Amino acid sequence: MNPLLLTILIPAAATLALFFVDASAKRAIRSIATVATALLLVISIGMFVGFHAEPDTWTANAGAGDGAHGYKYGFEASWIEDMGLAFRLGVDGMGLAMVLLTALIIFAGVMVSYSVEKRVKEYYICLLALVTGVFGVFTSLDLFFYYFFYELAVIPMFLLIGVWGSTTRTVDQNYATMKLVLLLTAGAVMALVGLISVWSEVGTFNMVLIEEHEFSTAFQMAWFPVIFLGFAALVPMWPLHSWSPAGHAAAPAAVSMLHAGVLMKLGAFGILRIACTYFPEAATEYLPYLALLCCMNIVYGGLVAISQRDMKLIIGYSSSSHMGYVLLGVASATMIGVEGAVFLMFAHGIMTALTFALIGWFYDQTHTRMLDDLGGLMKVMPFAGTCFIIASMASAGLPGFANFASELMVIIGAWESNLWLAIPAILAIWGLVITGVYLLRAVKDAWFGEMPERWSKLRDQRTLAERTPFVMLTAVLLLFGFWPQPMVSMVEQGVKPLVTRLDAAKEQVGKAVKRVVPANDQPAREIRAVGEER
């Protein structure tokens, strides 16, 4: 059976199967979720290993021209022929990187969730439904199903945070839940309006065919901001970011892992897959301004993280800061910059999943995440403390981790793009310094120094099942840190057609600008003439 179809059917089938399991059979419920997500991980690794050997799908029979994506592992089944709707699946290098990321995090998240005792059946139903939507977004090649899965990925978050989340001294659970859902829904509706405009212009939901449609410059300039901002709310891009740290802080551990590790990537993925791919001319005009917002994400997010004492809020604002690097790579519109952005989406997802899982481990025992309440935890939790230090060093961009390689690619891409992006590139470097400040302080205050007597009974991860998710995520960070080429070469296959389109759009805009240069005393007339031609 088609492996991409399995990535959707397996979690969907597991979700349905849990409805028929008795709520008191907690062990059976956890086993079903574990087996399902383990299968997803095996399938995703298999696709990753065999990606370059898999022939492209649809590039020829869709009539795609130069610059078209070569989607692999394709599947298509007609749904409503009169509307041209079909269940189309396929991935390029960008999509498969996100599929592998999702499979790694959901498997780790299910194992971390063994400590959940409240309404276990409903918890795993929501968790598996959410990940079904995530896989659907990363693999869909039909706009209708793309948006359907996009909404499916957002809706379960309301229940997962609202029911299984927590209220602390810094975050109110109900407030964080409502704010997250309302802001993300507003962004989704804005994106929907833009997607409907694309469909009305082209007359098809087939995303492969839409890529080959040449939208007018006026259409692109009008609708790029709408679709971009709709997806940017989920990134989250400043100033649309405030829902994210609160959502992280209120959510249970596995939900924070999926929230920061995967859901935030849906927004950046939508910007690359739809906004920049469909509207390359508008992207070349708007992306330089995006670089300014990236600076706010990077610097402002980092400075706010320094002022926090709640460890989840520290990592929450840190995530907003690091997503600024992703947006900076997108704004560079260079091969190495965009490759770095996608690679960083993967690396950041693994790193934040590891960090939130560790915070969840000791929060379940201490019921506090405040640095002022902690201290000396390394004495009783050496394994967890070591993993936390590793995750912190990865987040700070220490060489040897995937985050370093990807962030370096982003900064180089921004630097070589143009003078306009040189300043954001410099600020991005200083952002790494800011990251080191709040992470090293968190490590010192939580894991070293004097330990309050009440924490002397805390338990470290000891069993194989308890250590597996942490060892796995740490190994992935190191593997692609020391050997990034397999990931980079796969991502390049998906990024190259996009950058080719953006370069062609730059050349077209450049030619138009040259024609605007006045050769006589009538510059205004020539400018108007160029505007009419475009």
What digits encode the pLDDT tens for the residues 102-145?
999 999 999 998 888 888 899 999 999 999 999 999 999 999 99
In the chain, the percentage of residues whose pLDDT exceeds 90 is 28
Provide the pLDDT confidence category of residue 433 given band limits of 50, 70 and 90: confident
Provide the pLDDT confidence category of residue 511 given band limits of 50, 70 and 90: low
For residues 254 and 281, what is the distance between their CA atoms, to the nearest angstrom? 40
Task: Provide the residue range defining the domain that includes 89.
Answer: 3-533
Provide the mean pLDDT of the chain.
84
Contact 72, 54 (CB under 8 A): yes
Q: Which two tokens stand for residue 46?
A: 């298999």
What's the Cα-to-Cα distance from 103 to each of 39, 128, 223, 350, 359, rounded to whole Å?
9, 11, 33, 11, 21
- pTM of this prediction? 0.89
Residue 202: other Cβ atoms inside 10 A: 16
For residues 275 and 222, what is the distance between their CA atoms, to the nearest angstrom? 12
pLDDT value, residue 60: 44
Count of domains observed in the chain: 1
- The maximal CA–CA distance of the chain, rounded, in angstroms, is 84
Q: Is 203 left (phi over 0), alpha (psi -120 to 50) or beta?
A: left
Provide the pLDDT confidence category of residue 345 given band limits of 50, 70 and 90: very high
Which range (60-69, 249-258, 268-277, 393-402) has the least confidence? 60-69
